[in-house]
Structure 1
């Protein structure tokens, strides 16, 4: 399951994966973002608040995830990954080659800093020590 919070004032979607990701999770995300994109409103940012990555519940869910990213990445300007997982840095460098958004890691618990970076309200540099 993915918990979603939409900040309509700043056009930021915050997601928190809470259990292994399913195909239904990506249908729910599409239900949130597709109407905004169809009205010509790209997302200023996506915050992925994930202390740990729960994986996928099936191969089909992984494929649906990749398809979702492929179909939506050009409509997201910035992606903030809020986690202390060492995989975040590796994923940032790998994914950066395939998506249009600027990606930046933030330490676990620093969702406010991630939001400020997306809106241009501060924290322009990578906040990791």
Structure 2
């Protein structure tokens, strides 16, 4: 399951994976995120917060995740990975080569710092 919190006033989205991700999670996330992008032209930022990465429920879920990234990365200015999982460091190192958004990894306890960076570059 993927919990999606939308702060439309700040053009900020917080994604919180809770269990293995499904292909439907990414369809539902897009339904919530796309109107914010349409209204603002882009997202100021996206924060992915999870203590550890739960993985995908199926290969179809992985494909949906990759499609979601492909369709949205140009509409996001900054992405903060707030996690103690090694996936956060990997995403920062590799993601900067494949997506147009700035990416930064924060420890799980640094949510406020991540939010400030995503919104204000601090």
Place the TM-score, normalised by the shorter chain, in its bin: over 0.9
Count of aligned pairs between the two proteins: 122
Alignment match, 1:14: 14
Partner SS for 2:115 = helix
Task: Flag the structure with larger Rg.
Answer: 1
Once residues 58 and 94 of structure 1 are traced to their aligned partners in structure 2, the CA distance between those partners, rounded to angstroms, is 23
Give matches, 1:12-51, under 5 Å. Answer: 12-51=12-51
Cα offset, 1:53, TM superposition = 0.6
Mean Cα deviation higher: 27-36 or 57-66: 27-36
Higher helix share: 2
Q: CA RMSD in A?
A: 1.3
Paired with 1:121 and 1:61, the residues of 2 have a C-alpha distance of: 32
DSSP-derived class of the 1:115 partner: helix
Q: For the residues of structure 2 that align with 1:10 and 1:48, how far apart are their CA atoms?
A: 16
Unmatched segments (≥5 aa) in structure 1: 123-129
Q: Residue 108 of structure 2: SS of its match in structure 1? A: coil
Q: By how many angstroms is 1:8 displaced? A: 1.7
1:116 counterpart residue number: 116
